[in-house]
A and B are shown apart, each in its own frame.
Chain A
């Protein structure tokens, strides 16, 4: 007990000391490596599960997409029908891939930012395992036909969801315990983003799964959850990652720390009100829709603040992207964040929503956010973190280049094709002279392009998966220096 008090006192003293001069409180690269070592097991575990789910979720998505082009494809077995595969794809990607990777990213960043070894490591390890058991149970039940029938909340609330709540709570406990034990006093903006994400997620996930809501209120709570899962969970941890890694790789502090704080607090204060704009035109009280649209427009402030800040941090140093695949992906992710947020604000306007609602535009929008922002950011994080945690270099520059090119071209094609197709579909649906079939004909060619884009993305994922395996079993010799400092990777580099 006394020892614990003494440690707490020491930490407090260290925090106070830190106020004096941050320059003198910097730690060496060796100490940073020790902090990485403290989080090694849970980080690797998180990435392991994440990459498995990435591949599985990609297949689910591919088959779902192909079914639009060939409706009879794999329709004999109930578990391969669109109604089961599509939610399985979404849930595998959001909870399996993105969330597991975000656990790993959080647990890697927090010790570095708090300058203390990861606390309650076993809690994090157990949490990640329980979470992934929950996801597995949810996916199996979904394919077997058991679904809660709510968007983003399809997992069975009696079996899968409690496991996921327990898993996230255990990982969150480790994150918050590390925060409490920090030896720095001032919290870097990434700490705000990461630490806030865990209680937010638990609140919205538990609320969204409560079986007490009926009718219109059920839809309202459903979209409160679905929208905030994007904004207060997926967005926050990835913005925290970008705010940490972008300055680190470029080698200069973020352009304006004030703007980064405006971005965080603006999001924290306005975002929770936004979800109801998904129900424009529905039987909702007008004040709720109006409040949501107003809050959506207010989101311009944090979005523009983050966009300007990240752009100004990189501007004049875009050449660094040739050297670092992590930076390339993070810059693209940051651009996608600005684009998807502005697109979301635009879509919240009633006149735009009238055309785009119930069309493939929404799918394009969600992939711009969930893939080009969230997944690119996590890929960037993995490219940076795995060599440091494993102590091995990525073995093939060619595979890195192929991965980035394939997913980059694939997702641009995907978003543009479905964006155009969605608008044509919406205009056709609004035209009273045309039947419903006309809207299907209008969007059909664009769905074929989407399937082509999905194939490119899948090949990219397989290249990445193969590269990770190669890294584990045939790493580059240890005496080779890191590729990003030796020669450009993406454009001019040689194998």
Chain B
């Protein structure tokens, strides 16, 4: 290819191209163009997923209320402790905290060594 031809090709390549308008309209099922923009307007998938994830929560909340799950709040909070577990004095507690423990849970178990050993 001669140098002149190469120059012509280069010029053509650099020539400003006419601005073309892109037709954003979509074709409907009958093949006709619609005015609906191709924007992602809704996500049925996300809406469905949120309902599937969230609706059972409402159901279980209703069940919990009707079943009386929230009736004995304080007792439920203490449900995790074993027998006499709250009567053991803890070495990090100050005297006021130890007194609170005694008044709330009764006489302390002063020799917890063996029990703690069993628990490891």
Contact A253 B41 (CB under 8 A): no
Q: Which residue of B has the minimal Cβ distance to A208?
A: B49
State whether the Cβ of B110 lies closer than 8 Å to any Cβ in chain A.
Answer: no
Contact A203 B49 (CB under 8 A): yes
State whether the Cβ of B7 lies closer than 8 Å to any Cβ in chain A.
Answer: no
Task: Identify B120's interface contact among A188, A216, A482, CB under 8 A.
Answer: A482
Q: Which residue of B has the minimal Cβ distance to A218?
A: B45
Contact B93 A29 (CB under 8 A): no
B89 CB → nearest A CB, Å: 9
Task: Known contacts A26-B83, A393-B120; decide if A485 and B91 are in contact (CB<8 Å).
Answer: yes
Contact A19 B77 (CB under 8 A): no
Task: Known contacts A220-B43, A251-B86, A261-B70; decide if A26 and B120 are in contact (CB<8 Å).
Answer: no
Task: Identify A269's interface contact among B57, B88, B91, B116, CB under 8 A.
Answer: B57
State whether the Cβ of A437 lies closer than 8 Å to any Cβ in chain B.
Answer: no
State whether the Cβ of B68 lies closer than 8 Å to any Cβ in chain A.
Answer: yes
State whether the Cβ of A187 lies closer than 8 Å to any Cβ in chain B.
Answer: yes
Q: Which residue of A has the minimal Cβ distance to B93?
A: A317
Q: Which residue of B has the minimal Cβ distance to A268?
A: B57
Which of A38-46, A280-288, A452-460 lies at the interface with chain B? A280-288
State whether the Cβ of A323 lies closer than 8 Å to any Cβ in chain B.
Answer: yes
| A window 179-238: CB within 8 A of B | 184-188, 190, 196, 199-200, 203-204, 207, 213, 215-217, 220-221, 224, 228, 232
Contact B54 A272 (CB under 8 A): yes
Contact B85 A251 (CB under 8 A): yes
Contact B119 A482 (CB under 8 A): yes
Task: Identify A217's interface contact among B43, B50, B112, CB under 8 A.
Answer: B43
Task: Identify A23's interface contact among B68, B75, B93, B119, CB under 8 A.
Answer: B75
Task: Identify B68's interface contact among A19, A112, A190, A273, CB under 8 A.
Answer: A19
Q: Which residue of A has the minimal Cβ distance to B47?
A: A288
In the complex, A22→B83 CA distance in Å? 11
Interface size class on chain A is 35 or more
State whether the Cβ of B35 lies closer than 8 Å to any Cβ in chain A.
Answer: no
Contact B50 A272 (CB under 8 A): yes
With a cutoff of 8 Å between Cβ atoms, the chain A residues found around residue B116 in the complex are 481-482, 485
Contact A26 B82 (CB under 8 A): yes
With a cutoff of 8 Å between Cβ atoms, the chain B residues found around residue A30 in the complex are 118
In the complex, A220→B45 CA distance in Å? 9
Interface residue tally for chain B (C-beta within 8 Å): 52
Q: Which residue of B has the minimal Cβ distance to A228?
A: B53
Q: Which residue of B has the minimal Cβ distance to A245?
A: B80
Task: Known contacts A22-B75, A29-B119, A220-B45; decide if A204 and B40 are in contact (CB<8 Å).
Answer: no
Contact B80 A188 (CB under 8 A): yes
Contact A317 B80 (CB under 8 A): no
Contact B92 A392 (CB under 8 A): no
| A window 327-360: CB within 8 A of B | none
B71 CB → nearest A CB, Å: 8
State whether the Cβ of B34 lies closer than 8 Å to any Cβ in chain A.
Answer: no
With a cutoff of 8 Å between Cβ atoms, the chain A residues found around residue B39 in the complex are 283, 285
Contact B120 A28 (CB under 8 A): no
| A window 361-407: CB within 8 A of B | 387-388, 391-393
State whether the Cβ of A162 lies closer than 8 Å to any Cβ in chain B.
Answer: no
Contact B79 A221 (CB under 8 A): no
| From A33, A112, A188, A253, residue with most partner B Cβ within 10 Å | A253
Q: Which residue of A has the minimal Cβ distance to B115?
A: A29
Contact B77 A257 (CB under 8 A): yes
Contact A188 B79 (CB under 8 A): yes
State whether the Cβ of A319 lies closer than 8 Å to any Cβ in chain B.
Answer: yes
Closest 9 CB pairs of A and B: A22-B75, A319-B92, A257-B77, A253-B77, A272-B53, A186-B76, A268-B57, A216-B40, A26-B83
Q: What are 24 A-B interface contacts by the 8 Å CB criterion?
A: A22-B76, A29-B82, A33-B119, A199-B56, A204-B49, A204-B53, A220-B43, A221-B46, A224-B46, A247-B81, A248-B81, A251-B86, A251-B101, A253-B78, A253-B80, A257-B76, A268-B61, A272-B49, A272-B54, A273-B54, A276-B46, A285-B41, A317-B97, A388-B119
Which residues of A does B touch, CB under 8 Å? Answer: 19, 21-23, 25-33, 112-113, 184-188, 190, 196, 199-200, 203-204, 207, 213, 215-217, 220-221, 224, 228, 232, 244, 247-248, 250-254, 257-258, 260-261, 265, 268-269, 272-273, 276, 283-285, 288, 316-317, 319-320, 322-323, 387-388, 391-393, 479, 481-482, 485
